[in-house]
Chain A
Amino acid sequence: MIEAQDLTKRYGDKLAVDHLSFTVEPGRVTGFLGPNGAGKSTTMRLVLGLDRPNTGTATIDGRPYAELAQPLRTVGALLEAKAMHPGRSARNHLLFLAQTQGLPRRRVDEVLELVGLRDVARQRIRGYSLGMSQRVGIAAAMLGNPSVLLLDEPVNGLDPEGILWIRNLMKHLASEQRTIFVSSHLMNEMAVTADHLIVIGKGKLIAESSTQEFIERSSEKSVLVRSPDSGALADLIAAEGGKAIRQDPARGQTAALRVTGLDAPRIGEIAAANRIVLHELAPQLGSLEEAFIEMTADSVEYGGDTSAVPQEPAASTASPGSSQ
């Protein structure tokens, strides 16, 4: 079990992690989700004692990482793909790690077998593809057969087969009652891998829930309605308990509303009863990725300037200047 309590980390005047608290339970894959620069890697480094938090504590099975005598036998970690000397072979990289923990040489061969690198283990890491480097990192994480695993963007650079492999590996390891904490900036990847999600943005906790709950909540159904009399319709919808958000109409199109809380037939009935003309009435299913982007929109660290690009009507919520 991993517990983070009020973690804060500042680099100069930049706040990377902002009073973050969470718990990662054993027996399930916990996804750690956030846009690039949200503080995922920093949080993992704080948990692993590589960086020193400005405030707060992180413990693994109740103890700070630094107090573990043979830490690799409790915790396995995959950091950025290249936390290894490019001139050293995978075998020697794993061997020296094993020697620090008093692990037998045989264990190095076992983990090389596990990640499928046995045949290339004597070659220098310099010549490895990104995917192969990731596998070396995973082998290093599995070296001490740990009960807690922290994996930072493990699918980076892996081909589809590799992604499937690591996904199944994580699920399998979780089924053995291990604690699996895996970061990603890809919502869809986490939706199929993780049982539980911790979402952060700009170093702050945005959401924590089961993946199932997160998906249901995030892909909340909405209905797109176009009407020349959308103002009146919006008021009627609000009166019926729905929520109508004005959308920017594309050039030459009728003003649109995105309605949540009422389904399409009910909106049609309301319109008919009040003799309001509808040009379009379309149920929408929000994608998970869209929900994630929306949820973290305010906290994107390196976002592009969206005002410079023409906006898709459905993608933006009402901006005051364009409402009718």
Chain B
Amino acid sequence: MTSVSPPSPVTATAPPAPVPAHRSGFGGYLLAEWTKIRSVRSTVWTLAIFVVVSLGLTALFTWLTLNALNNGRRGEAASSIVTDPVSFILGTGLGLGQLAICVLGALVITSEYSSGAIRSALLAVPRRYPVLLAKGLVFAALVIVVGEIVAFLSFFIGKVLVNGHVITGRLTVAGHHVIVHRTITVSLSQPGVLQAVAGSGLYLTVLGLFALAIGGLIRHTAGAITAVIGMVLVIFPLAGLLPDSWGAHVHAYLPTVAGQLITQDKPTAGQLLSAWQGFGVFCAWTALLLAAAIFLLQRRDA
């Protein structure tokens, strides 16, 4: 410590005359949450990783897959870039980039618990639930802006690479080898495309809130991140292996499985929910988890 003036607090702490204050309330809480989220490096880093990974991998995967097509190697991804190029473009980079949003969503709340900052926050807002509401709103606003920008940029990167690319394919038709030249064209004006691109940003926003709710429930950074990513990458997709029609129904109604429907420009065969229905199911799950997080926030010792 360098020199600190001994008690001359007289000027700064005149007798308990209250400090003049604006009317505070929920607006103040929103402002405070914005200050919190912008003032830690983890926010900047995680969002930077999200942008770089999403855009970089969209470009890389699209370019590699188109090259593979030209060389006559046709994998499953190669065929999906032909059959549904929009879903391919939006599914590759953002499919991995979404993990950064999961991490950030969990982190904005768990880092407050691990550092003890939550106690400062709850002392300032002893009714508690407004803290989580304000945090959710501010975080959602941040993710929807960044998420939409990245979704549209991803689409345009993919579009530039895909459009005008001539694919030379070999087909075997009735015993004859046929050389086929074709081009793929994607455009925002095609049916369902705008919904898929804008929907990707919406999906990321709700995903972030989903992770935030899990973070609020689990309160430990590592545990919350593991839980969210485990669900999104492993558990929900694996549920697709459940047998029979009840299995298909369970799978269809799982949070991110339902939520991702809105990121596709055309429905897949046997799809149980429409894009917006799926998004509604995802929102409902997230609202339920947020409500549970608020319920526990009110009840648990901080």
Interface residue ranges of A59-91 to B (CB < 8 Å) = 65-68, 70-73, 75, 77, 79-80, 82-89
Inter-chain contacts of A145 with B (CB < 8 A): 13-14, 16-19
B122:A87 contact, CB within 8 angstroms? no
A213 within 8 Å of B by Cβ?
Answer: no
Inter-chain contacts of A73 with B (CB < 8 A): 18-19, 21
* CB-contact partner of B40 in A52, A87, A103, A177, under 8 A: A87
Binary interface encoding of chain A residues 106-143 relative to chain B, with 1 for a CB under 8 A from any of its CBs, else 0? 01001101111001000000000101100100001010
A274 within 8 Å of B by Cβ?
Answer: no
A100:B29 contact, CB within 8 angstroms? yes
Inter-chain contacts of B245 with A (CB < 8 A): none
Inter-chain contacts of A142 with B (CB < 8 A): 12-13
B39 within 8 Å of A by Cβ?
Answer: yes
Inter-chain contacts of B40 with A (CB < 8 A): 85, 87-88
Inter-chain contacts of A173 with B (CB < 8 A): 9, 13
B42 within 8 Å of A by Cβ?
Answer: yes
A177:B28 contact, CB within 8 angstroms? no
Least CB distance, A177 to chain B, in whole angstroms: 7
Q: List 29 A-B contacts (CB under 8 A).
A: A48-B123, A49-B126, A52-B301, A71-B123, A79-B116, A83-B119, A83-B120, A84-B120, A85-B111, A85-B115, A88-B36, A92-B36, A93-B117, A99-B29, A99-B31, A100-B28, A100-B29, A100-B124, A102-B23, A104-B19, A114-B12, A116-B4, A142-B12, A168-B7, A172-B13, A173-B9, A176-B13, A176-B16, A178-B16
Closest to A171 in B: B7
Inter-chain contacts of A49 with B (CB < 8 A): 122, 126
Inter-chain contacts of B31 with A (CB < 8 A): 99
A22 within 8 Å of B by Cβ?
Answer: no
Residues of A within 8 A of B (CB): 45, 48-52, 65-68, 70-73, 75, 77, 79-80, 82-89, 92-93, 95-97, 99-104, 107, 110-111, 113-116, 119, 129, 131-132, 135, 140, 142, 144-147, 159, 161-162, 164-165, 168-169, 172-173, 176-178
A102:B24 contact, CB within 8 angstroms? yes
Inter-chain contacts of B124 with A (CB < 8 A): 71-72, 97, 100-101
Least CB distance, A124 to chain B, in whole angstroms: 8
A111:B24 contact, CB within 8 angstroms? no
Report the bound CA distance from A89 to B36 in whole Å.
10
Least CB distance, B291 to chain A, in whole angstroms: 20
A169:B7 contact, CB within 8 angstroms? yes
**Contact status of A87 and B42, CB under 8 A, knowing A99-B32, A113-B12, A147-B16:** yes
Inter-chain contacts of A71 with B (CB < 8 A): 123-124, 126
Inter-chain contacts of A97 with B (CB < 8 A): 32, 120, 124
Report the bound CA distance from A159 to B124 in whole Å.
29
Binary interface encoding of chain B residues 11-53 relative to chain A, with 1 for a CB under 8 A from any of its CBs, else 0? 0111111111111110011011101100111100000000000
* CB-contact partner of B10 in A83, A132, A172, A178, under 8 A: A172
B270 within 8 Å of A by Cβ?
Answer: no
> What are the nearest 9 A-B pairs in CB distance?
A102-B24, A116-B4, A92-B39, A168-B7, A99-B32, A96-B35, A100-B124, A51-B301, A96-B32
Report the bound CA distance from A70 to B124 in whole Å.
7
Closest to A81 in B: B116
Least CB distance, B55 to chain A, in whole angstroms: 26
Inter-chain contacts of B181 with A (CB < 8 A): none
Report the bound CA distance from A131 to B1 in whole Å.
8
Least CB distance, A171 to chain B, in whole angstroms: 8
Known: A77-B123, A103-B21, A135-B4. 18 other contacts (CB 8 A): A50-B301, A66-B127, A80-B116, A88-B39, A100-B24, A100-B29, A102-B23, A102-B25, A107-B19, A116-B3, A146-B16, A161-B1, A161-B4, A162-B4, A168-B6, A169-B7, A173-B9, A176-B15
Report the bound CA distance from A99 to B6 in whole Å.
28
* CB-contact partner of B21 in A85, A92, A101, A169, under 8 A: A101
B112 within 8 Å of A by Cβ?
Answer: yes
